[in-house]
């Protein structure tokens, strides 16, 4: 007669030399253990404290740092197909001469291939969730679903026709359909994503605010990205972009504003009082010479921005480790103050700030009962030797290649050079198809 074996207490028990929890106390665990059950963190502590657990599987990462997955607060994931296509030009010329005309040829198939490449890049560099704004967002949903990442989907709302929609009313119907389609999906959520005050007219903006209120969805929009945007808005509407958005009902705690480069002191006060969120995109802002967002002033007012990469067309990377380092160094030299944007602050932006920007506050931290969305960095890499301040490693030292493991909802998506959810070799071949498509009309 066989003796029944006890049921496992958890699906997986991870151990490593260090863990950054990003919890309310910013605890750092030395000799860390994380128990995962049903896609969530069942327990967190030392190996001795969790020694009583009977896991289905054990994974000892050894000299590694476990931390929450990074969160990309603003991107256009499919735009990998434009990476390097139109470099070294101002935003307005870049958009009107290259991006908007090429996007008129977009298809759902091309969008999904571009999004799969973007998801593969983010997975490789430790990003577990992202806020997207683009056309054919059902294709982005398909790519995120295949890759295993979380995504806040934002079907871009314009006042003019696009290959994905004849107008904003039709886009609103797509958003309604997406809400129904993904309502039971644990990793896919929907936002109302208006492109900007210059590409989305007042009627479309008002209607979009109403749609978001009706469906209980967050809002996402580019705002005050360049000086020209501010000047044009003043000339057309008699108001700066933030005040114009306020008049239309866009300013509030459920709204995330991307960029916010050209905000003045009064606008920063209003933003802080409103509870609105910010997605800061330092590399894209630098590459397009848009300016420097007043992030230190935001932090002083209690605004914790999320960090975004923007699209690969204007960055040219979806690597949030590079974004953290760029953020810290940009604001130190711009303010001539080495104490602004500390390692802990930029790490907070890439995790907790991103979670707030997505309206997904349970993300961005490792806590019992929370989602098992985590990554592990190799501490044997020479740029991680020796370890003095663990928060300094992801903020200043890491370049992303040190990511050994990427997990979402307890599922390992990438481990030690291997993609476990995507057919990456086939995706490389698809990238050649994208290159031919993107160059066809140049």
88 and 57, same structural domain? no
184 and 47, same structural domain? no
158 in Cβ contact with 199 (< 8 Å)? yes
392 and 347, same structural domain? no
Asked if the structure places residue 270 within a domain, the reply is yes
2 pLDDT tier (thresholds 50, 70, 90): low
Q: By C-alpha distance, which of 44, 47, 51 is closest to 68?
A: 44
Report the C-alpha gap between 278 and 297 in whole angstroms. 13
pLDDT beyond 60 at 4: no
197 and 48, same structural domain? no
Asked if the structure places residue 269 within a domain, the reply is yes
137 and 76, same structural domain? yes
Structural domain ending residue among the three candidates 318, 340, 357 = 357
39 and 18, same structural domain? yes
pLDDT beyond 70 at 402: yes
328 and 211, same structural domain? yes
| CB-facing half-sphere around the CA of 114: CA atoms within 13 A | 31
Asked if the structure places residue 335 within a domain, the reply is yes
Q: What is the rounded (10 degree) CA torsion for 57, 61, 67, 73?
A: -80
242 and 202, same structural domain? yes
Q: How many domains does the chain have?
A: 2
Q: Is 286 helix (H, G, I), strand (E, B) or coil?
A: helix
213 and 112, same structural domain? yes
442 pLDDT tier (thresholds 50, 70, 90): low
Identify the residue whose tokens are 């009313």. Answer: 169
Output the six-digit token pair for 287.
Answer: 């590459």
**What tens digit of pLDDT does each residue of 186-206 get?**
999 999 999 999 999 999 999
Range of the domain at 242: 70-357
Residues 6+ apart with CB under 8 A from 380: 63
Q: How long a stretch of residues is the chain?
A: 442
Identify the residue whose tokens are 């711009």. Answer: 334
66 in Cβ contact with 46 (< 8 Å)? no
Q: Is 81 helix (H, G, I), strand (E, B) or coil?
A: helix
Q: Is 259 left (phi over 0), alpha (psi -120 to 50) or beta?
A: left
96 pLDDT tier (thresholds 50, 70, 90): confident
211 and 135, same structural domain? yes
pLDDT beyond 60 at 128: yes
Asked if the structure places residue 214 within a domain, the reply is yes
**What tens digit of pLDDT does each residue of 243-288 get?**
999 999 999 999 999 999 999 999 999 999 999 999 999 999 999 9
Q: What is the CATH number of the domain that holds 407?
A: 2.30.40.10
Structural domain ending residue among the three candidates 332, 357, 382 = 357
370 and 317, same structural domain? no
Q: By C-alpha distance, which of 74, 67, 13, 35 is closest to 373?
A: 67
pLDDT beyond 90 at 76: yes
pLDDT beyond 50 at 143: yes
| CB-facing half-sphere around the CA of 288: CA atoms within 13 A | 27
Q: What is the CATH number of the domain that holds 168?
A: 3.20.20.140
Asked if the structure places residue 239 within a domain, the reply is yes
Q: What is the mean pLDDT of residues 120-145?
A: 98
φ, ψ dihedrals at 353, nearest 5°: -65, -40
Q: What is the mean pLDDT of residues 389-393?
A: 97
Report the C-alpha gap between 307 and 338 in whole angstroms. 20
Asked if the structure places residue 390 within a domain, the reply is yes
Asked if the structure places residue 426 within a domain, the reply is no
Asked if the structure places residue 173 within a domain, the reply is yes
CA distance readout (Å), 213 to 208, 252, 425? 9, 12, 43
219 and 134, same structural domain? yes
Q: What is the mean pLDDT of residues 384-401?
A: 97
**What tens digit of pLDDT does each residue of 157-178 get?**
999 999 999 999 999 999 999 9
pLDDT beyond 50 at 1: no
Task: Give 40-48 contacts, CB < 8 A, sequence gap 24+.
Answer: 40/369, 40/370, 40/371, 40/372, 40/410, 41/366, 41/367, 41/368, 41/369, 41/370, 41/371, 41/372, 42/9, 42/10, 42/368, 43/10, 43/368, 44/19, 44/366, 44/367, 44/368, 47/15
> Mean pLDDT of all residues in the chain?
95
pLDDT beyond 50 at 28: yes
pLDDT attached to residue 348: 98
218 in Cβ contact with 254 (< 8 Å)? yes
Output the six-digit token pair for 274.
Answer: 């409103």
pLDDT beyond 80 at 441: no
């Amino acid at each position: 007669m066989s003796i029944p074996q006890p049921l496992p207490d958890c699906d997986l028990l991870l151990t490593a030399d260090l863990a950054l929890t990003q919890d309310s106390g910013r605890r750092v665990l030395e000799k860390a253990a994380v128990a995962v059950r049903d896609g969530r963190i069942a327990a967190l502590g030392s190996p001795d404290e969790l020694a009583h657990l009977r896991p289905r599987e054990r994974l000892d990462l050894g000299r590694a740092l476990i931390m929450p997955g990074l969160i990309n607060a603003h991107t256009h994931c499919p735009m990998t197909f434009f990476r390097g296509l139109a470099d070294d030009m101002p935003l307005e010329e870049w958009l009107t001469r290259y991006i908007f005309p090429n996007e008129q040829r977009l298809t759902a198939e091309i969008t999904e291939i571009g999004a799969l490449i973007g998801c593969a890049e983010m997975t490789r560099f430790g990003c577990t969730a992202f806020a997207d704004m683009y056309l054919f967002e059902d294709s982005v949903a398909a790519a995120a679903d295949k890759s295993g990442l979380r995504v806040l989907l934002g079907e871009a709302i314009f006042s003019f026709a696009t290959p994905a929609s004849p107008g904003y009313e039709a886009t609103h119907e797509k958003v309604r359909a997406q809400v129904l389609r993904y309502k039971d999906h644990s990793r896919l959520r929907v936002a109302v994503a208006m492109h900007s005050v210059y590409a989305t007219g007042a009627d479309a903006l008002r209607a979009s605010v109403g749609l978001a209120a009706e469906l209980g969805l967050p809002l996402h929009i580019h705002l005050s990205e360049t000086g020209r945007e501010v000047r044009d808005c003043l000339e057309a509407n008699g108001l700066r972009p933030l005040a114009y958005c306020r008049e239309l009902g866009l300013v509030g705690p459920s709204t995330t504003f991307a960029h916010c480069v050209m905000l003045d002191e009064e606008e920063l006060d209003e933003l802080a009082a409103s509870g609105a969120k910010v997605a800061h995109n330092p590399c894209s802002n630098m590459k397009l010479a848009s300016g420097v967002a007043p992030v230190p002033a935001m932090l002083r007012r209690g605004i914790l921005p999320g960090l975004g990469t923007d699209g690969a067309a204007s960055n040219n990377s979806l690597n949030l480790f590079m974004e953290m380092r760029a953020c810290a160094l940009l604001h130190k030299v711009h303010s001539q103050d080495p104490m602004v944007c500390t390692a802990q602050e930029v790490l907070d932006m890439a995790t907790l700030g991103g979670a707030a920007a997505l309206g997904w506050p349970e993300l961005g931290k490792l806590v019992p009962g929370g989602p098992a969305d985590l990554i592990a960095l190799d501490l044997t890499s020479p740029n991680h030797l020796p370890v003095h301040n663990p928060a300094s490693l992801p903020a200043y030292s890491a370049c992303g290649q040190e990511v050994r493991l990427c997990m979402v909802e307890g599922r390992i998506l990438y481990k030690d050079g291997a993609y476990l959810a995507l057919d990456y070799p086939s995706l490389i071949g698809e990238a050649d198809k994208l290159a031919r498509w993107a160059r066809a009309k140049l």
